[in-house]
Structure 1
Amino acid sequence: MKKMDNTAYNNPTSSAKRNSCHPNLKMFLAALSFAYFAKALSGSYLKSTITQLERRFDIPSYLIGIIDGSFEIGNLLVIAFVSYFGAKLHRPKIIAIGCVLMSFGTFLMAMPHFIFGRYKIETSVRSSVNSTNSLSPCPSPSESIRASDRSSILPSRGCERESSVSMWIYVFLGNVLRGIGETPVQPLGISYIDDYTQPENTALYIGCVQTVSIIGPVFGYLLGSLCAKIYVDIGYVDMETVMITPRDARWVGAWWLGYLITGTITLMSAVPFWFLPKSLPIPVDKHDTSCTPEQTRFIKDSPAMEHKFRPEEPVNLHQMAKEFVPTLKNLLGNPVYMIYLCVTIIQFNSLIGMVTYKPKYIEQHYGQSASKANFLMGMINIPAVALGMFSGGVVMKKYKLGIMGAAKFAFGTSLLGFFLSLFFFAMGCENSKVAGITVSYTGVESLSDQERSLFSDCNLSCLCSRREWDPVCGENGITYVSPCLAGCTSSSGSGRNMVFDNCRCVALVNPQTGNLTATLGQCPIRDSCEKIFPYFLALSVLSSFIISLGGTPGFVLLVRCIKPEMKSLALGIHTLATRTLAGIPAPIYFGAIIDTTCLKWGYKTCGGRGACRIYNTTAYRIMYLGLTLGLRTVSFFFCILCFALLKRHIKMEEKNALTNGSAESESLRKDENSSIHCEQFILALDCNPDRETHL
């Protein structure tokens, strides 16, 4: 290693060529790209299974938010120490250990499927034993009493087993372990690349890694789409007996299958890192350990930072621990860095909440299946984000934007994306016509909260349960909560082909018709809503592309504004802050707000409220979009503060440069293009490709 370094001093040209194409550096780039792909794959797959987990475990949206935020909880536990101490240790091996932990966590998330029993569909339809006909959907009083007595006397073993430990706890703990394992990948990987590449190549290499990572969410959502089509207990049940379709609110896909696949891929990503060295030859341009002008502009030396660690030096844990607190204090004392964190936190709250529940929004608002919603996210939205980040990097490099040009470009794209998103409010669909919930049994007027009632004169002779959700679609285009509440007195057929006859409530809308029937499942959404959906997709793609234009320069600009020995810590604190104050709370309070728009809750077998079956789509749209855009509006005020602060800072530096002499002034002007990009980084926060969640 020493011989190679001496050669670098004597022959800079040959050294630059050798370092730019070092085989171990190429291997590290490939391995890190694969690790980024694997963690993005598993993270996006988790988001694609949100509705499946919600239905399988019978839990509300806010608990799904807790499961989703548990990834950040795992990061929170170790990220500050991994970012600081890991930079002085064997970074490739630490990343390998992290990948192994991620894979184990992913496997743990699939365990409930193998530990607990089969999925029981909530239904009121009971098939006759010796015929293809079903028992009457309108039970008599004596039959209802016998059923209630029987359920109160006989205990349910399944209830006792499920109540002992909630199944979703396994998914929660597995995601925590995933978060712990993911911790070293981003800060140690980015700092390793920045340490051993030529300065002019760093942006290219980091851009390649992050661009490759975009492929992960594409395949994650596509895998989620595939698994959502497959019934959860495939291979264990006769599919002919399954009476629901993927569009049904009770359908649960094979969510566990994707976790086994992503866990295996993540485990494979750990293998290359075990064979990489702790350090590589340092490029000639980085032999000088002094700070560049743009780094000294934003962070000044601390008396406790006189000793500079280099990756090649022997590790002194005592000295490292002694300098940790002064280094952290010095970093957090930088006003530019702190304001950047505020903008990041606010915008990430908006981004994470929006991304987490966007597939569910498509399902509930536009009547699409979970499979189709995930497919559209993977094939349309994610590529638009990737293209936006790539295009933003090309624009920055081609036009060599100055300080105000870079700021205006970033702020302008974010603001334009914001205004485009306002059009989503106008792309709404009316609530589905559900008798007793959204419309009256006559199908004429809409109902308020006080007027909702599942019972009417047409079904009073049937002792129906208000807790069941077994929807049927009447010939009149109105959905009824169950065949019993539709007033149906008989049925024919079996499985998904079952038809209910003599439905008295259906006759209230079409009294002239004779034998009115109802079929299993909700009525399809209106044609007007189907026509709006393509426009929603087009606007979603366009706004995602525009917002993500400023994403690529982010990490490069951050490390250029931070002293070399503080790069890993700065990245780690940035990730820690965003995941603690945005990644954890955003899915929870977004989910809690979405829960307030639920019109009909399901119920667990052993009692207690389960997953929501139908939402007020108008309220859902206003709450979901209003919260997303409201947070983004608040972030713009901090962006204006950044403009003022940076403008004042630059004026002070120019004044100091003139005072210190023309030579120093000339040097600062040469380095202006590097230093000014900090502002672009602060403002271009709408799309961070390293975040495990994606648009």
Structure 2
Amino acid sequence: MHVVPLKSEHYAQVFLLASSFAYLARSMSGAYMNSMLTQIERRFNIPASLVGIINGSFEIGNLLVIAFVSYFGAKLHRPRIIALGCTVMSFGCLLISLPHFLMERYQYETTLSPLENSSSSMFLVLFTECEQKSGSLTWVFVLVGNIIRGIGETPIMPLIISYVEDFSKAENSPFYIGISSTTVIGPFLGFMLGSYCAQLYVDLGFTVTITLTDARWVGAWWLGILICGSVNLLAGMPFCFLPKSLPKEGQASDTDHNEQCHLVKLQNNVLHSFIPDFIPFLRSLFHNPVYMLFICITVMQFNAFIGMITFMPKYLEQQYGKSASQAIFLIAVYNLPIICIGYFLGGFLMKKFKITTIQAANIAFWISLIEYLIYFAAYFTVCENSPVAGLTVSYEGIEQVSYMETTLLADCNSDCDCSIKVWDPVCGENGITYVSPCLAGCKASHGTSKYTVFENCTCVAASGFSSGNVSAVLGQCDKEASCDVMLQYFLILTIVCSFVYSLGAMPGYMVLIRSLKPEEKSFGVGIHMLASRSFAGIPSPIYFGALIDSTCLKWGTLSCGGEGACRMYDIVTYRWLYLGLPAILRGVSYIPCVLILLILKKQVKSSEGKTVKSAPMAMEAIEEQND
């Protein structure tokens, strides 16, 4: 049987299709990991600052090999390097999920024994066995897996772009690259997968006494990352069968080989001259004021946005009382599509009206400033702290915020010998949440599992708000109804802010590109990316997480002692830090923005002056040529 080989245009089509799938796979796994940070925090009983380190480890993986990829990428078989990158990403995903299969079944803090009779006197103990493994370092697998995932992701985008640039015509390459980078579909699928997995209990098939909104709930975080790993592995397969290079569009087949040999020699010459040109290029960039100021803007604004995006699901959970699944779903539906529309519209308007550099800088500045002012409306879309006895209110119902565990003890529960470490909240008939049935002073219970009702609760009776009822049920009390309304306002606000900001993103990026000389563009964009990852992508989640940890009112407890993941935050302080820090960072970033506008304005005036002076000479030359 004779097999007809594919023509070069067919290989190009296969490459574009495979590239789209590879982009989808990498962005899908990235969005999924970002959506599962809260679940990872709870499963491994670690603070938010450590979760920030895990999140930033992806950027560390990128930085480890970005120089190698930049230097050797064009020399090697690019499709196979891309396939290797997808395979490495798949292996990283597998490593991230590995702790689930190594650890014991998830045991959360509870005062209920699953063997209790349907009616019994209260015998309240911390029903978790002390296992040294519960405080082990299995989260390191997630950290290392995320680093490996970052290593695998590094060659995908630059090598796809360079491969497309090599075989396509200059006027077609932006269109081809745009087709390949289907940015919105991958993150959307990743967040939707995260929303689904967050609904499933981490140990599939087991019955639990907690609900989706409980601070101890852990979704099946490992399941989605396995799916993402499989998709990444599939995405790399087509690249294994593609040639090292393709002929330029429109060239005759007889000259294909010679043209490709010339291209390889040219690349080798460029690569061999890279080292001696490195210092002059770097010096030139450092003496480019617009470029250096743009890097300052990027670092400050990326610090603000990366920190906010990393912990946005947690913010929606804590501020508005939503489950992780609901929070992830809302982010995907309300933010991702509108951002894509804004990027597209901004780029389209740039092309249609042929915007100059100074015009692009002004558009980006004013659009960003308008969005920044709208952003402050988020301070009015608020919910207050839920009433939790001993933490946000006293046992008499008076508002007070306490970071001290000793305030959990009161006269009404002094004879119960309660542990103040356990977190097993119950909702009293008075609308106040108590950290555990014991701390609520409950003496008896009836029912089983999540349907248990606690009775004779002395602290509920002593609050003065109970009109005779002294019972409590499992779980925290629901937030006030106004929180749902405030959530809708907040989501509408995020839609407006996301659209307005993304509308000015492309004009802003054009300022960066046009500030560089043609021979400096690749190097300049690489340094810009390196700076944004080193000074924003890595540190931002860490210090945002540390600040969020500082607002914790009640820490979880490891089964053998020690602090675990936070169970409840002071959401008022949380809100001020979460919204305030980005506001400060972005506010400071407008100082270099103004300086760029002044520099560009001065450059325009200078160039106009030169044009006016050279105009008579140009007219004389034209007249001579006509004669």
What TM-score do you get using the length of structure 2 for normalisation?
0.89
2:40·2:221 contact (CA, 8 Å) conserved in 1? yes
- Residue 347 and residue 193 in structure 1: after superposition, are their counterparts in 2 closer, same or farther (change >3 A)? farther
2:358·2:600 contact (CA, 8 Å) conserved in 1? no
2:401·2:570 contact (CA, 8 Å) conserved in 1? no
- What secondary structure, in the 3-state scheme, does the structure 2 residue paired with 1:483 have? coil
Distance 1:573 1:344 in 2: 12
What does 1:160-175 correspond to in 2, within 5 Å?
Answer: 161-163=133-135, 165-175=136-146
- What secondary structure, in the 3-state scheme, does the structure 2 residue paired with 1:373 have? helix
- Residue 463 and residue 621 in structure 1: after superposition, are their counterparts in 2 closer, same or farther (change >3 A)? same
Partner of 2:463: 509
Identify the match of residue 76 of structure 1 among 63, 85, 99: 63
Identify the match of residue 39 of structure 1 among 26, 33, 37: 26
Partner of 1:684: none
- Residue 231 and residue 400 in structure 1: after superposition, are their counterparts in 2 closer, same or farther (change >3 A)? same
Partner of 2:210: 244
**Given residue 570 of structure 1, which amino acid in structure 2 is its aligned partner?**
G
**Given residue 268 of structure 2, which amino acid in structure 1 is its aligned partner?**
V
Identify the match of residue 119 of structure 1 among 75, 95, 106: 106
Partner of 2:254: none
Once the two structures are TM-superposed, the CA of residue 455 in structure 1 deviates from its matched residue by 1.0
Partner of 1:270: 236
1:79·1:572 contact (CA, 8 Å) conserved in 2? no
Identify the match of residue 540 of structure 1 among 468, 475, 494: 494
What does 1:312-461 correspond to in 2, within 5 Å?
Answer: 313=266, 315=268, 319-449=273-403, 453-461=407-415
1:435·1:443 contact (CA, 8 Å) conserved in 2? yes
Once the two structures are TM-superposed, the CA of residue 644 in structure 1 deviates from its matched residue by 1.9
Partner of 1:227: 197
Distance 1:191 1:178 in 2: 22
What does 1:613-652 correspond to in 2, within 5 Å?
Answer: 613-652=567-606
- What secondary structure, in the 3-state scheme, does the structure 2 residue paired with 1:600 have? strand
- Residue 202 and residue 664 in structure 1: after superposition, are their counterparts in 2 closer, same or farther (change >3 A)? farther
Once the two structures are TM-superposed, the CA of residue 558 in structure 1 deviates from its matched residue by 5.5
1:80·1:573 contact (CA, 8 Å) conserved in 2? no
Partner of 1:669: none
Partner of 1:217: 187
- What secondary structure, in the 3-state scheme, does the structure 2 residue paired with 1:124 have? coil
- Residue 75 and residue 624 in structure 1: after superposition, are their counterparts in 2 closer, same or farther (change >3 A)? same
Partner of 1:678: none
Q: Is 1:58 the equivalent of 2:12?
A: no
Q: Deviations over 1:418-461 (max 9, x none)?
A: 11110001111110000010001121333455797111111111
**Given residue 220 of structure 1, which amino acid in structure 2 is its aligned partner?**
G
Partner of 1:100: 87
**Given residue 167 of structure 1, which amino acid in structure 2 is its aligned partner?**
T
- Residue 490 and residue 132 in structure 1: after superposition, are their counterparts in 2 closer, same or farther (change >3 A)? same
Once the two structures are TM-superposed, the CA of residue 107 in structure 1 deviates from its matched residue by 1.1
1:389·1:552 contact (CA, 8 Å) conserved in 2? yes
Once the two structures are TM-superposed, the CA of residue 132 in structure 1 deviates from its matched residue by 2.8
- Residue 539 and residue 319 in structure 1: after superposition, are their counterparts in 2 closer, same or farther (change >3 A)? closer
1:33·1:213 contact (CA, 8 Å) conserved in 2? no
Partner of 1:609: 563
The size of the alignment, in residue pairs, is 603
2:114·2:449 contact (CA, 8 Å) conserved in 1? no
What does 1:2-41 correspond to in 2, within 5 Å?
Answer: 22-41=9-28
Q: Deviations over 1:567-594 (max 9, x none)?
A: 4433332222111110000000001011
1:109·1:259 contact (CA, 8 Å) conserved in 2? yes
2:100·2:222 contact (CA, 8 Å) conserved in 1? yes
Once the two structures are TM-superposed, the CA of residue 547 in structure 1 deviates from its matched residue by 0.6
Partner of 2:504: 550
Once the two structures are TM-superposed, the CA of residue 516 in structure 1 deviates from its matched residue by 1.7
Distance 1:538 1:488 in 2: 43
Q: Deviations over 1:275-294 (max 9, x none)?
A: 33333344699xxxxxxxxx
What TM-score do you get using the length of structure 1 for normalisation?
0.81
Distance 1:173 1:33 in 2: 27
- Residue 277 and residue 567 in structure 1: after superposition, are their counterparts in 2 closer, same or farther (change >3 A)? farther
Distance 2:26 2:33 in 1: 11
Q: Deviations over 1:347-399 (max 9, x none)?
A: 11111001001111000000000000001111111111111111112222233
**Given residue 200 of structure 2, which amino acid in structure 1 is its aligned partner?**
I
Distance 2:332 2:407 in 1: 40
Distance 1:655 1:23 in 2: 52
**Given residue 393 of structure 1, which amino acid in structure 2 is its aligned partner?**
G
Partner of 1:301: none
Partner of 2:119: 133
2:460·2:466 contact (CA, 8 Å) conserved in 1? no
Moved more, 176-185 or 332-341: 332-341
- Residue 577 and residue 218 in structure 1: after superposition, are their counterparts in 2 closer, same or farther (change >3 A)? same
- What secondary structure, in the 3-state scheme, does the structure 1 residue paired with 2:311 have? helix
Moved more, 584-593 or 187-196: 187-196
- What secondary structure, in the 3-state scheme, does the structure 2 residue paired with 1:199 have? coil
Partner of 1:199: 170
Partner of 1:188: 159
2:357·2:511 contact (CA, 8 Å) conserved in 1? no
Q: Which runs of 5+ in 2 are unaligned?
A: 1-6, 252-261, 620-627
Partner of 1:692: none
Q: Deviations over 1:146-165 (max 9, x none)?
A: x9xxx9xxx94x31x345x4
Distance 1:622 1:399 in 2: 41
Partner of 1:575: 529
Moved more, 481-490 or 537-546: 537-546
Q: Deviations over 1:209-254 (max 9, x none)?
A: 44x111111111111100000000003x3x2xx1101110000000
Once the two structures are TM-superposed, the CA of residue 93 in structure 1 deviates from its matched residue by 2.5
Moved more, 613-622 or 178-187: 178-187
Once the two structures are TM-superposed, the CA of residue 523 in structure 1 deviates from its matched residue by 0.3
- What secondary structure, in the 3-state scheme, does the structure 1 residue paired with 2:458 have? coil
Once the two structures are TM-superposed, the CA of residue 472 in structure 1 deviates from its matched residue by 0.2
Moved more, 80-89 or 479-488: 80-89
**Given residue 80 of structure 1, which amino acid in structure 2 is its aligned partner?**
A
Kindly report the root-mean-square deviation, in angstroms, between the aligned alpha carbons of the 2 structures. Answer: 2.9
Moved more, 356-365 or 444-453: 444-453
Distance 1:380 1:627 in 2: 23
Distance 1:310 1:648 in 2: 40
**Given residue 71 of structure 1, which amino acid in structure 2 is its aligned partner?**
F
- Residue 398 and residue 509 in structure 1: after superposition, are their counterparts in 2 closer, same or farther (change >3 A)? same
1:188·1:568 contact (CA, 8 Å) conserved in 2? no
- Residue 662 and residue 376 in structure 1: after superposition, are their counterparts in 2 closer, same or farther (change >3 A)? farther
- What secondary structure, in the 3-state scheme, does the structure 2 residue paired with 1:466 have? coil
What does 1:82-93 correspond to in 2, within 5 Å?
Answer: 82-93=69-80
2:197·2:220 contact (CA, 8 Å) conserved in 1? yes
- What secondary structure, in the 3-state scheme, does the structure 2 residue paired with 1:612 have? strand
Partner of 1:597: 551
Distance 1:628 1:616 in 2: 19
Q: Deviations over 1:113-134 (max 9, x none)?
A: 01111101111223556x3335
- What secondary structure, in the 3-state scheme, does the structure 1 residue paired with 2:177 have? helix
Once the two structures are TM-superposed, the CA of residue 663 in structure 1 deviates from its matched residue by 9.2
Moved more, 497-506 or 190-199: 190-199
